[in-house]
Structure 1
Amino acid sequence: MVHIHVMGASGSGTTSLGLALAEKLDIAHLDTDDFFWLPTDPPFTMPRDADERIRLLLEETARPDGWVLSGSALKWGRRLEPLYDLIVFLRIEPELRMARIRAREIVRYGNRIGPGGDMEVKSGKFLEWAASYDTSGPERRSLAAHEQWLETQTSPVLRLDSSREIDDLTAEVVLHPAIAAGAVRRPR
């Protein structure tokens, strides 16, 4: 049984790597956005009550077969920190990260984020927020906040450049001693 937390900036590939690891290790994939945000249309507009989100997340992390948690639970997920066997911190050049985000937003929302779309303003604010990750201070979700948080963790931290192929990243995580020792792999 393994518990992996994959974190990084929006657009760094945390969800993609989380899904790949969950499939490879045959364990559950959990994403912090599914717990932090209430399901709304447009999405990501109403945060879930903090007590409710941690209750739901703790319920899901009680699985006997392990899990991969992707995303950021920086300030609200402290109760999970002792559970992590490995923290994977993804970094990528800001220009490539923002290109990924823009492409993802177009695929997800299409004309809704374009001129006159019902998500145009919200999308613009999100892109502005995401672009400031590398330069903002530790008071918000940023590189500074992530680095500050990583310094406090007792679990091993694996830093990866997420511009690499997903299969290479997955292999490196799976071969990490903290995972290789505890992973229960079923034949595929």
Structure 2
Amino acid sequence: MSTPPLQPQPEPSQSHQPDKKPSRIHILGASGSGVSTLGSNLSSILSIPVFDVDDYYWVLTDPPFTTKRSIPDRIALLKPLLISAQEEHGGWILAGSMGTWGGPLMEDVEHVIFVDTPTEVRMSRLREREYKRHGDRIREGGDMYEESTAFLTWAERYEDPTLDEGRSRRIHEDWLKEVKVPFTRFNGEKEEPVVIREALEGLGRKP
């Protein structure tokens, strides 16, 4: 009896390749820690889109950051974008803290990066950023003075264990304890090239 010809075996799908690197990434940290900057840099290097959580958390208003979207609306906006990014680019980056409301989005995350930056460094960055964005509107007498002052006061309280709303170290550390995927933690005070290199190494990629 003749032996039947061997059938070509299908190549394993990319999702089952043991050397596949994480391509669905969530970056978080305190305000001013460098989350958005790192997200933008990794997006360029890895050729995958980055989505800033704040763009979907807040309704677009003037002054900005005054009206929150409902949780279902945030998920409804982001979920299709992540699906499309995965199909078209093979991955995505979510930059910004989500906490418990982002559970449906975390189901697809493969790696978490926590950027831990000293308060004095963050606050210097935030004050500079606030003025670049809003100019004299945040000075005393400006229409955004009270809002900007309240934001900076809140951001400076990140290390306060009694802070129970938004971003705080306690909330982030508790959240990280529940993360089911690998995560990388590093100091965001370092020079930008160093931060990028450490992030890539944490993802198992060569800088």
Length-normalised TM-score, structure 1:
0.91
Rounded Cα–Cα distance in structure 2 between residues aligned with 1:56 and 1:45: 19
Correspondence for 2:62 among 9, 18, 41 = 41
SS at match of 1:134: coil
| Aligned positions of 1:1-188 closer than 5 A | 2-62=23-83, 63=85, 64=87, 65=89, 66-137=91-162, 139-140=164-165, 141-176=167-202, 178-180=203-205
Deviations 1:98-119 (A, max 9, x none): 1111011011111000011000
SS at match of 2:101: coil
Deviations 1:137-165 (A, max 9, x none): 36322000000000001111100100112
Superposed displacement of residue 18, structure 1: 0.4
Rounded Cα–Cα distance in structure 2 between residues aligned with 1:51 and 1:40: 19
Q: Which has the higher contact order (CA 8 A, sep 6+)?
A: 1
Superposed displacement of residue 175, structure 1: 2.5
Rounded Cα–Cα distance in structure 1 between residues aligned with 2:152 and 2:60: 20
Rounded Cα–Cα distance in structure 2 between residues aligned with 1:5 and 1:159: 12
Please identify runs of 4+ aligned residues in structure 1 that moved more than 6 A.
none
SS at match of 1:7: strand
Superposed displacement of residue 179, structure 1: 4.8
Rounded Cα–Cα distance in structure 1 between residues aligned with 2:162 and 2:41: 31
Length-normalised TM-score, structure 2:
0.83
Contact 1:61–1:67 (8 Å) recurs in 2? yes
Superposed displacement of residue 82, structure 1: 2.2
When the two structures are aligned, how many residues end up with a matched partner?
Answer: 180
Contact 2:58–2:68 (8 Å) recurs in 1? yes
Q: Give the letter aligned to residue 110 of structure 1.
A: G
Rounded Cα–Cα distance in structure 2 between residues aligned with 1:138 and 1:115: 26
Superposed displacement of residue 77, structure 1: 0.5
Larger Rg: 2
Rounded Cα–Cα distance in structure 2 between residues aligned with 1:5 and 1:138: 23
Q: Which runs of 5+ in 2 are unaligned?
A: 1-21
Q: Which runs of 5+ in 1 are unaligned?
A: 182-188
Superposed displacement of residue 134, structure 1: 0.9
Contact 1:14–1:71 (8 Å) recurs in 2? yes
